[in-house]
Amino acid sequence: MMSNIYLATEGITKTFSGVKALDNVSIFIRNGEVTSLVGENGAGKSTLAKIISGIYGYDKGKILINGKETKYRNPLEALLKYRIACVHQDSTLIPEMNVVENFFLEIENKFYRKGLISYSTMKAELQRFLRDLNFNNIDVDLKAKYLRPHEAKLIEFAKSLYHEPNLLILDEVTAPLSRHEVDLIFDHVKSLKNSGKAVVFISHRLAEVMDISDRVIVLREGRVAGDLEGNEIERDQIIKLMIGKDVVLSKYFPPRATNINSSKKILVVKNLKGNGVDVSFDLREGEILAFAGLGGQGMSEVLRMIYGILPKETGEIYLDGKKIEIKNPRDAIRHGLIYISESREAEELFTNLTVKDNISVPILDKCSKKGMIMRKRMNELITNIVQTFSIKAPSLDAIIMQLSGGNRQKVIIGRYIIKEPRVFLFANPTVGLDIRTKMEVYRILRDLANKCVGVIVYLSELSEVVNLPDRVLVMHSGRIVKELTGEEITEENVLKAYFGAA
């Protein structure tokens, strides 16, 4: 069986700013298998994926391909010479280039004819390939910045398959996808596996890990904590290896509210129309209100229209009984509304700035006087946020992208809580986060609701829909088709509403 190993690492160690991201990591990846890599945020999963795919170098250790030590200088060499393709957690598409240009970037010469590169030939080739994958209805002439998160992820996945990889690494590829799209991805993964190729699957969704995996490698604090195979792949055992202790399922989610004031409506939305959406609803004091549904049914659009990111055709919004006008996000913020996008890197973070800068930008009004920034006050606020939310960073001057996904999310939430908003609008706030960090986010949302701060959240993970909110509004084709409250929020009732059986 050892002769079937495509790639192995021996003693890989990687340090960032004095912090060991990986410490003496030795693993092997077999042909014809799906090997899942799991662990908490900051465990080293994405760092290892970037080393194997050629993005990062390493301080110590070696990589072996087919038993021979191998060194490649960059991702392109890893891809073209060794057929190692990776779909990263963060999008690698260039925003100002369209889908066709992104897809064939650095291999355009394949379409070089008589001194010119034929765009029409590239476009036809891409459309044919997407049809073969059943990835339909994606406008390939669209600039990448206008793609929806699930469309961008499908394009990146298709791009990796186009290169016919010997090793395919998928880092949180399913996070923005619908259930149907996940099933489609898994069909292609299984096909790749059955053809004798190697696949590494990185995900925090343990149900998917258990569904697709032949082996599971668990990382904890930059080291290999366990290697499970066959019948050893069991949810509770994976969690125990990830966090070093047993976690009872019932403790994942905080208790539902017992003090909802149905007569006190924080937010009322009437006849909100536009972008394929037509809804009316209210948010009550003390509750977590969730929007849910199959992908593309308008949940995200509702939040973005309320916040003024997307234009509305009609609609009235009342905050604490008073009508407010929101034409853009600035208006929303002025009225005490905060929206936190599921696209953290694209819409929430200044990816080339430090942790300190990312925290301070939205709270400058809290630490300035007569046009002057009070550095002492600002540092106190930043330190308070870091300590309150247990944000782990090499230093406050570290670039934000050096932090794990979970710590980046805590930076985003923490810096806005300090602004003391009246209503929070969250879009998939736990996407890409590990179990422990998800539990922290659930607690934060519940604490906000208990303090009478309005909480509206769009959720796509079924376990969260069933266990976190006090009330669920299920959407289909841009309309609310079912309202579920308290004990009515069961997996059966939610799925019936999703598929129109309720």
pLDDT of residue 66: 94
- d(C-alpha 487, C-alpha 171), whole Å: 35
Mean pLDDT of the chain: 91
CA-wise closest residue to 359 among 411, 307, 421, 406: 411
Q: Would you call 352 helix, strand, or coil by DSSP?
A: coil
| 437, 468 contact by CB (below 8 A) | no
pLDDT tens, position by position, 238-275: 888 887 765 555 568 999 998 898 889 999 999 999 99
Percentage of the chain beyond pLDDT 90 is 64
pLDDT of residue 2: 54
Read off the pLDDT band of 502 (50, 70, 90): very low
**pLDDT category of residue 368 using cuts at 50, 70 and 90:** confident
Q: Which of these, 161, 159, 172, 200, lies nearest to 5 by C-alpha position?
A: 200
Determine the pLDDT at residue 395.
86
Q: Which residues contact 25 (CB under 8 A, 6 or more apart)?
A: 9, 11, 12, 13, 44, 48, 61, 219, 222, 223, 224
Domains of the chain: 2-93+147-247 (3.40.50.300), 250-336+421-502 (3.40.50.300), 348-418 (no CATH)
Give the pLDDT confidence of 160-189 residue by residue, as tens digits. 999 999 999 999 899 888 888 999 999 999
| Tens of pLDDT, residues 25-48 | 999 999 999 999 998 877 899 999
Residue 392 CA to residue 379 CA, distance in Å, equals: 17
**All residues at 6 or more sequence positions from 128 whose CB lies less than 8 Å from its CB, including other chains:** none
Reported as a single tens digit per residue, the pLDDT across 111-146 is 887 778 889 999 999 999 999 999 988 999 999 999
**Quick check: helix, strand or coil at residue 177?**
coil
- Asked if pLDDT for residue 466 goes beyond 70, the answer is yes
Mean pLDDT to the nearest integer, 386-408: 88
Q: Which residues pair with 425 in a beta bridge?
A: 339, 456
**Mean pLDDT, residues 63-87 taken together:** 94
**pLDDT tens for residues 428-444?**
998 878 788 888 899 99
- Positive or negative CA dihedral for 316, 317, 323, 324? negative
Confidence (pTM): 0.70
Helix (H) or strand (E) holding 103: helix 99-103
Model pLDDT for residues 94-116, shown as the tens digit of each residue? 999 999 999 999 888 888 877 78
Model confidence at 191: pLDDT above 50 = yes
Rg (CA), the chain: 23
Q: pLDDT digit string (tens) for 10-24?
A: 999 999 877 788 999
- Percent of the chain past pLDDT 70, that is, above it, reads 97
Q: How confident is the model at residue 3 (pLDDT cuts 50, 70, 90)?
A: low
For position 388, what pLDDT does the model report? 87
Q: Given this model, what pLDDT does residue 57 score?
A: 94
Q: Express each pLDDT in 265-316 by its tens digit.
A: 999 999 999 999 999 999 999 999 999 998 778 999 999 999 999 999 999 9
How many Å apart are CA 126 and CA 104, to the nearest integer? 9
Percent of the chain as helix, strand, coil, to the nearest 5? 40, 30, 35
Residue 463 three-state SS? helix
φ, ψ of residue 33 in degrees (nearest 5): -135, 155
Amino acid at 424: F
Q: Are 34 and 189 in contact (CB under 8 A)?
A: yes
